[in-house]
Chains A and B, each alone.
Chain A
Amino acid sequence: MNKFDIQIREDGEHAVIETAGYLNDALGEQLADKAKELIGNGYTQLVINLEKTTLINSIGISILIEIIEALHEREGALNFCGLSATQERTFRMMALAKYAGIFPDEESAIANL
């Protein structure tokens, strides 16, 4: 995986999006496009793996909120995994954790969709 990259893994009823690099407006827009494409293709159970995402700024968080809202409109679900302690704290403060699950690894994030 490149320093700045997005990987998609589709598996039956769910899909995993893995990002690497700095989640800002540029990577965030790519992530949103991929997520909307997956949702458009019928995937409403998503996992976003942030293990290789070194930093997430407030614009990146805003884009994650847009994905949560898009899934909410389809009665879907989103779980995050691979967050650092600081990222998890920020997500909880920004209320993302109320509408999306946070799990330590991809396996548990998928299992809890």
Chain B
Amino acid sequence: MSDIAKRVILTIPMYPDMELAAAKTASVLAELMDFGEGEVEEIQLAIIETCINAFEHSKSDDQEVHIEFLLMADELQFKVTDRGVGISTDTLDGSRVLGSPSVHTDLRKRGRGLQIIRSLMDEVDIESSPNGTTVSVKKKKRG
């Protein structure tokens, strides 16, 4: 693959399981870039969680998620954007939706999506305003 970034644009509706369309696209692109099998699965899971966050929290009128993939020489980037009401970082982190501890204090019920994304990807940035939210993610190739 050349050093010039290739761009792939995908728009999905906020229907159940449509995050799998984003995951399938990410999988094809990551395999094209020769990411390892485990890394491809990590990228799939990260984009699934990013889309689910948009589905659950954006309250957007158009009910769409816009995804931009950038294929760089040594990393895959994707941006997931909704045109919703925006969201606070603490909600994305889950701290606002966890409630009181259950049987185990570190077994939480909800809101671990961003924690998963951050653990699997190299960089995660969130920009949010009352006009929408964009989550930008980078995954570098190993070796």
Contact = CB atoms under 8 A, between A and B. Distances in A.
Interface of A: 22, 24, 26, 55-59, 61-62, 65-66, 68-69, 72-73, 84-86, 89-90, 93-96, 98-99
Given A99-B104, A99-B107, A58 B113 contact: yes
A27 B53 CA distance: 19
B120 interface: yes
9 contacts: A22-B17, A55-B20, A55-B48, A57-B52, A69-B103, A72-B104, A85-B38, A93-B115, A95-B104
A55 B45 contact: yes
B116 to A, nearest CB: 6
* SS of A interface (majority): helix
A55 B24 CA distance: 11
Interface of B: 16-17, 19-20, 23, 38, 41-42, 44-45, 48-49, 52, 102-104, 106-113, 115-116, 119-120
Given A58-B52, A62-B112, A86-B38, A69 B102 contact: yes
B110 A62 contact: yes
Nearest to A85: B38
Contact of B109 (A22, A66, A89): A66
